[in-house]
Chain A
Amino acid sequence: GDSVTQMEGPVTLSEEAFLTINCTYTATGYPSLFWYVQYPGEGLQLLLKATKADDKGSNKGFEATYRKETTSFHLEKGSVQVSDSAVYFCALSDLNTGNQFYFGTGTSLTVIP
């Protein structure tokens, strides 16, 4: 079945460091891919998305490219800030499975000044 695997955390970085959070997926069809962010005590918010192979999603300095050949959607940011501290979830939605969303287990990021 469909699934998402993302790197385990927690991840701790210094301010202005480079961030990569790995995400790979398994899907029977051609899924759409998403990154959601959850700040402490809040619900999930869409960070970025890509709906087909080679698409790049971007928002707030974060980027992720839909790589069909490696079934990956890694999240990157060139220079993290303290305000980026949150939990990040990779997710997919697949037409072949009734358009349900499948989420990874989340990666906690802490950015220290």
Chain B
Amino acid sequence: NAGVTQTPKFRVLKTGQSMTLLCAQDMNHEYMYWYRQDPGMGLRLIHYSVGEGTTAKGEVPDGYNVSRLKKQNFLLGLESAAPSQTSVYFCASSRTSGGPTQYFGPGTRLTVL
């Protein structure tokens, strides 16, 4: 039981390049989330999904897209990376949103030059 895994762990991009971050969970959770973590700002929700085939915007969705084609996977895409997207990205999942625990992946450190 691996829990929540994220690929890749580190990435460096040039401005304007695109990439996809992959999140996978093996706990059969319905809900999945993408956050970014920046110094002094805590975690901010980018997008989330309440089930396969559904996505919704969080607090800071601009510049990102997501897809949830399979229940166990949640992809975060950057179509044209900007230096402001330099951050650590965390994926999380939960059985239902709210009261039960959110389980976090180890994070992806992204640098945009």
Rounded to whole angstroms, the CA-CA distance of A51 and B101 in the bound complex is 11
Q: Do A99 and B104 have beta carbons less than 8 Å apart?
A: no
A45 at the interface (CB under 8 A from B): yes
Q: Do B43 and A103 have beta carbons less than 8 Å apart?
A: yes
Knowing that A51-B99, A100-B58, A100-B97 touch, tell me 14 more A-B residue pairs with CB under 8 angstroms: A32-B99, A41-B106, A42-B107, A43-B90, A43-B104, A43-B105, A44-B90, A44-B104, A89-B42, A93-B99, A98-B97, A100-B45, A103-B44, A105-B40
Rounded to whole angstroms, the CA-CA distance of A101 and B92 in the bound complex is 11
Closest to A52 in B: B99
Range for the number of chain B residues in contact with chain A: 20 to 34
Q: Do A106 and B42 have beta carbons less than 8 Å apart?
A: yes
Closest to A106 in B: B42
Q: A100-B58, A105-B40 are in contact. Are A46 and B45 (CB under 8 A)?
A: no
Complex contacts, A77 vs chain B, CB 8 Å: none
Closest to B33 in A: A101
